[in-house]
Amino acid sequence: DGGITQSPKYLFRKEGQNVTLSCEQNLNHDAMYWYRQDPGQGLRLIYYSQIVNDFQKGDIAEGYSVSREKKESFPLTVTSAQKNPTAFYLCASGTGTGELFFGEGSRLTVL
């Protein structure tokens, strides 16, 4: 089945650790996005990529890094520089000119 797979679904991190969230899609979409959602809030854009080997910062990129080495994959690393990383992280893909399709999300908690 075509879709977007995020892993892990739940992740706990100690302060000072980097963690990487995986996002894989088999929809053949060029564009991929990472959003952060805090409780009761909307979605804020962290990074997006319109094409392989290229990506742009969104509104809240500080403390995060991404790579886009393959069309199917857009992993997000939450670095120790991100001071308040506890949140729900959503990955999405799209054609670049249309609706987005979302993964199931990854819930990160800092202990």
Partner 1 sequence: ELKVEQNPLFLSMQEGKNYTIYCNYSTTSDRLYWYRQDPGKSLESLFVLLSNGAVKQEGRLMASLDTKARLSTLHITAAVHDLSATYFCAVDGDDDMRFGAGTRLTVKP
Residue 72 CB, shortest distance to partner 1, in Å, is: 19
Binding site for partner 1 (CB under 8 A): 33, 35, 40-43, 45, 48, 50, 56, 58, 90, 92, 94, 97-105
Q: Name which of 13 and 102 has its Cβ closer to partner 1.
A: 102
Q: How far is CA 54 from CA 37, 88, 105, in A?
A: 24, 24, 23
Nearest distance, CB of residue 41 and partner 1, angstroms: 7
- Which pair of structure tokens corresponds to residue 98? 């249309």
Contact of 22 with 79, CB cutoff 8 Å: no
